[in-house]
Structure formats: structure tokens, C-alpha cells
Structure 1
Amino acid sequence: MSADASWRFDAIGTAWTIRTERDLPEPLRADVLSLIDAFDREWSRFRSDSLVTALAGGGRAAAPVDAAPMFEVYRELAEATDDAVNPLIGGSLEALGYGVRPGTPGRAMPAPSWRDALHWDGGALVLSAPAVIDVGALGKGRLADRVFALIRSRTPGTVIVDASGDIRLDAAEETVRIALEHPYDPTRAIGVATLSSGAVCASATNRRVWGDGLHHVLDGRTGLPVDVVVATWAFLPDAMHADALATALFFDGGLELAHAWGAQWIRVLSDGRAEYQLTDANIELFR
């Protein structure tokens, strides 16, 4: 692997690692941090100054550049999963105690119908009823793609953007080995992917946990955490679609979406069994 310069920092509540062949110049680092902050200022429900917070009571705002790309993919996710994946899941997460300051969990609250309430046409983002937008099903992947594109536009050679499990890379003629973390033991791996380009995104119910049986992957139809699938991985050319599919794989319909998108994927069930569709020898599961 020729990438020997690493830049590590924390942003949007998670750890980032960017690997390149040479240290990124300070102006480019500043631009990366500015891009991430701007995305966070628009889409974070944890910020009092964000667009998402401003729209929580309903309203209209200029649509951010990410609105149409993200919500068009949300449309596909919702259709594939029968609305289990819903960008208005934020209120359901808060009802279970995952808010700005996680509190005592209350009763599960299904997410409202987003097809009638959320619109992003004509350069405007409109929320016609009170609701909390949460783009966690694919937002980090979208941001990883944008950070990757910015760095790639100004940096030759290998570029690897790792946003805590959402990875977008172009390793030129090299390859990168990525361990697939065991969902029940973070010191072990269930397999390894050897990639030179594209994206791999992972999701697991042992991440972002704030109580017994409470984690960030909710079924929008019930407002309850999922309990059949415990970890997923999706492999696609871009991180937004890989992140979206990693979410969809927790639900019925996720496998059909993976087939439609031509993705490779893995998911681990709560009984320890693994299901997968792997067509290339560059992704290996340990037996």
C-alpha cells in the first residue's frame, strides 16, 4: 500500500481517518473541515443551529445541495422496505431516548408518513408538518463521498476516506485490506475485503447503543429497534448507496434492493448465521 500519510480527526460525532500518499496541505484540510461542518450544520438534529432543527416544527427552506440526491435514494429505500426506512425517524429515536441529551426512554413512536410531509422540489425543502428529519440511513456515506471527491480533485495517487466504517477509496494500482468486524467481539473479524476502489459501508446494532436493547437502527413502521439482523456490509461504487443498502439489509426487501443495485453484501443474524451474496474473490468470509 503506497498511502503512508494519515490524518485523523473527530467530526459529526465520529472518528475520521484520511490516508493519502503525502500529507494534505493545510488549505485542503481546512476545506475538508469546512465541508463537513457545513453538512453537519444542515443535517444534524443534534445542533440547535441546524436546518433540520429549524424545520422540526414544519416550514420551508432553501434546499441544500444534498437534499435531492439523498431523498431520491430514500425514495428507493422506502419502496424496497415498505417504509421501514424513513427519513423522519428522528422523532422515533428521540422518543426512545436518543436525542441531544439521551434521556429516559419513553414509548416507541412510529415515524410519520414522509411521502406526504416532505418535499424537495423547485430548490426548496418543505416539511409540511412537525417532524424530525434524520438522514442517518445514508448521510454519512453521502458526506464520505463528498470529502473523497474534494480530496481527489486536488490530490493524485491513493485516497482513502474512512468515516468510522463508511469507506470510500481509490488506491490506484494498490489494494487495501479491510477487516469486517465481528458484531459480538470487536477484537475479531468475520472476514476481510481486499479492494482497490469503490466503497464499503457497515452498520451494526452494537454501535450507538444507549440502553438495554436500544440502538440506532429502528423500523420506521413501529419505532422499535430491529432484532433479527445485527450487522451488515454493502459493497458498491459510491458510499451513499453502500450506506443506504447497509441500512436496507436489516429489513425485508433489502436483498431485492441489493440485487437491483448489483451489490455485493453480507449480513449477520442474531443467531450468529451469516447470509451473503459475494461474486468476487476479493471479499472473503472466515469459516
Structure 2
Amino acid sequence: MIASGPATWRFDAIGTAWEVVTDRPLDEAVRRETAAIIERFDAAWSRFRPDSLVSRLARHGGRVPAPSDAAPLLDTLAEVATATGDAVNPLVGGSLEQLGYGAAYTLRAGAAVPAPSDWRAALSWSADELALEPPAMIDVGALGKGRLVDLVLGALPPGDAVVDAGGDIAVRGQPVRIGLEHPYDSRRAIGVWEITDAALCASAVNRRAWGDGLHHVLDARTGEPVRAVAATWAVADDAMHADALATALFFESGPEVAARWRGTWNTQWVRMLTDGRVEWSPGCDAQLFGGR
């Protein structure tokens, strides 16, 4: 969580804690609209809800009207998939479920199953339609929370604001200093990062973990959790791209994705490997306590 500001609104949604800090209290209409934005997103993209759009497609496949953000979400997800050699895959949801991270959240290890390698033939989308055949579980976890953070920030009235959804943070206005939590000790930080009118998203193997070596960042080509990287932090102009990059950085080609987006989305990054080494992007503004 970030430090409280002049007006702080805390709530839980999509399985995580949210904190919205603004320079004046939000009126009830803005809060209702924020709740409606989150509900629409969850109803479309949550694989933990049996009534969600992606859950229905997983059962039956077919063609459905596209959610309003299907094109920006899936276009970016496809870009990351291509850049990572399909280590990131929009149909990885089934692999996560098979490994024990499904709607029931059984906390029980299962078998590793690769995601469908032919996802480009199975899944298609436009501004109007989302199509999937044969049925499979779409998972937008690589960047979905970041996209929702952007949508919530966009619904807030003008002025300084920070939206923090479980460590995916978008900042508008005044600069904010954010600690980079150590993945093996939540009481410590490996550094701090000051951002202004930007977003910082983080991912780590100690979050959403349910067994020895089992966590939510899978290599879709094998269905196995990533082993070499412990945590990533990425900064970009918006939270969707920061979230996408934080996911991509778990894979060998992650720095190449960052370099590709650097000029367009002003990306920077830090990552910690499982052996304790820390890497960072050229010109990174983060203050790392271990030195450079």
C-alpha cells in the first residue's frame, strides 16, 4: 500500500486490496461508477467467476459480443506473446487451473499442462466480437489488473490521484515514492522508485503461490512456473503496459520487450533473479539499496 493522502478510499475487489488516494474526497457518484467499472471488468474477464464471459467461453466456445476493452487488452497480450516466443499465451488459463490455481483455488498441486500452441487460430477478436473455438480458458492476468487500474484512474475527477491495486500503481500529478518489496521478506525493500504521471507494476513469486515452487507466473510453453526470476518491477506511461512488461520480464526476452516499448511507453524496469542478483534497464531511475 502507498501512504495515505488527503482523501483515502480503501476497498477489496477482484481478489486484492485497493487504495485510491485523491486530493479531495470522492463523492458517492464517483465511487459508484468506480465500482461499476470494476464489476464490468470482472464479469468479462474473471476466470474465478462461473458466470463470467471467459468462463462461458471456456465451457462452450463460440462467438460473443466483445467487451469494450477486448481489443486493447488482447492486442497488447498478443504483442507480448509474440515477443516472448509464446511463453506468454492468452489461453494459459487452463494450464493455471491444471496446476492448482483455478476457480476452486484448491491449494493442491496438479500436473503441468502446456497452453494451446495454436491459440492464434483458436482465438480472434475485434472491437465488436470475441470468438474462440475450440473452448479454452482465456486468461488476461499478464496485464489485466494494470488495465483495470488505468480504467479506475480515468474515472476519477481531475487532480492529484494514486490508484494502487495490490502493488499495481498508477500516479497522476504529484510524485510518489514507492518501495520495491523484497520477494523473500515483505518487511524489507530492495529500493525505492519515484514516479510522476506514470505507472509502476510489480510481480513476484511469493504472491499467489500455493505450494513448493508453485506460483502464478507460468511459461505457457511448458505449463511450469518460471524458475529463474523471483520478482519484477516495471514503469511505463500506463499501468496496462507496465503490468505487461512486469510479466514479460520473467522470461529471457523480457528486456527486449522493454527496449521495444521504451520509446513509445517510456518503460524502465528492475528484476531480481532467484539467486539474488538484481538487474535493471539502462538509465533506470530506481534507487536500489544494494548500489549499482
TM exceeds 0.5? Answer: yes
1:241 match: 241
2:112 match: 108
Alignment: residue pair count? 281
Q: CA separation in 2, counterparts of 1:2 and 1:216? A: 29
1:123 and 2:125 matched = no
1:286 match: 289
Q: CA separation in 1, counterparts of 2:288 and 2:96? A: 33
Q: CA separation in 2, counterparts of 1:166 and 1:278? A: 22
Where does 1:32-181 land on structure 2 (aligned, <5 Å)?
32-57=34-59, 58-103=61-106, 104-112=108-116, 113-121=118-126, 123-151=128-156, 155-171=157-173, 174-181=174-181
By how many angstroms is 1:278 displaced?
Answer: 4.7
TM-score, with structure 1 as normaliser: 0.95
Q: CA separation in 2, counterparts of 1:75 and 1:51? A: 19
**Contact 1:3–1:22 (CA<8 Å) still a contact in 2?**
no
Q: CA separation in 2, counterparts of 1:279 and 1:247? A: 20
**Contact 2:182–2:190 (CA<8 Å) still a contact in 1?**
yes
**Contact 1:111–1:222 (CA<8 Å) still a contact in 2?**
yes
User: Residue by residue, what CA displacement relative to the aligned partner does 1:191-240 show, whole Å, maximum 9, x if unpaired?
Assistant: 00112211000000100011111110000000000010010001100000
Where does 1:219-258 land on structure 2 (aligned, <5 Å)?
219-258=219-258
Q: CA separation in 1, counterparts of 2:96 and 2:8? A: 34
- Sequence identity (%): 58
User: Residue by residue, what CA displacement relative to the aligned partner does 1:126-148 show, whole Å, maximum 9, x if unpaired?
Assistant: 00112101100000000000100
AA aligned opposite 1:175? P
AA aligned opposite 1:56? A
By how many angstroms is 1:3 displaced?
Answer: 3.8
By how many angstroms is 1:2 displaced?
Answer: 10
Q: CA separation in 2, counterparts of 1:157 and 1:42? A: 30
AA aligned opposite 2:7? A
Q: CA separation in 2, counterparts of 1:28 and 1:111? A: 39
* Structure 1: runs of 5 or more not aligned: none
User: Residue by residue, what CA displacement relative to the aligned partner does 1:102-156 show, whole Å, maximum 9, x if unpaired?
Assistant: 23322110001311110003611000112101100000000000100111xxx23
Q: CA separation in 2, counterparts of 1:175 and 1:237? A: 14
AA aligned opposite 2:74? F
Change (3 A) 1:222 1:17: same
* Structure 2: runs of 5 or more not aligned: none
Tell me the SS of whatever aligns to 2:287: strand
